[in-house]
Structure 1
Amino acid sequence: MFTHIVFFKLKSKEQAQGARNILLSMEGKIPQLKGLEVGVDILHTERSYDLVLITRFDTLGDMKSYAVHEYHVNEVLKYLKPMLESSKVVDYES
């Protein structure tokens, strides 16, 4: 199992639910995506990011295919990137 986690810092916290909905829209549209979880931060501490995406794949190769999948590029990244101040990732196999 390969897990890809992305932490997002948004330009405006008011965008969190919209960004969450964009990410959740991938459910069932990208065959390589085996698991999807999106969380909005509720504590808003100095260390907090605003949003987290946790995705799971069978293999690293599947994650790489997801990264360039038409839906991910044209329906997710296209609308999400303008909302972002920054992002950080953690990728691991288990």
Structure 2
Amino acid sequence: MVKHIVLFKLKDEVPKAEKLVVMKKFKEAIEALPAKIESIRKIEVGLNINPEEAWHIALYSEFDSLEDVKSYAIHPDHVAAGKILAETKESRSCVDYEV
């Protein structure tokens, strides 16, 4: 099994209320993906409640293989969900590991 963990930081200049709207839309879109992408074994999105931390969003997901992660990454529904963050995202960090 491969665990796929992604962190997103949103731009500081984006107003807090706008960040929250974008974060909630992204969460909803990502968590709807298992119905559309068969290779997702588990997925969840956490919205950071601690304003002292740098990262705003944590995405946790599980797949059978790294190849499944790669096909998920280019799936049109995943790409569309990612575009929700396009205007507000400052940075992204990712780790994929086997268990």
TM norm structure 2: 0.81
Gap regions ≥5 residues in structure 1: none
Moved over 3 A (4+): none
Conservation of the 8 A alpha-carbon contact between 2:25 and 2:84: no
What percentage of residue pairs aligned between the two structures are identical? Answer: 38
TM-score (norm 1): 0.85
Structural mapping, 1:1-94, within 5 Å: 1-11=1-11, 12=14, 13-14=19-20, 15-45=22-52, 47-73=53-79, 75-94=80-99
| Alignment gaps of 5+ in structure 2 | none
Q: Could you tell me how far 1:82 is from its partner in structure 2?
A: 2.2
The Cα offsets for residues 47-76 of structure 1, whole Å up to 9 and x where unpaired, read as: 430010011100111111111112112x21
* Superposition RMSD in Å: 1.5
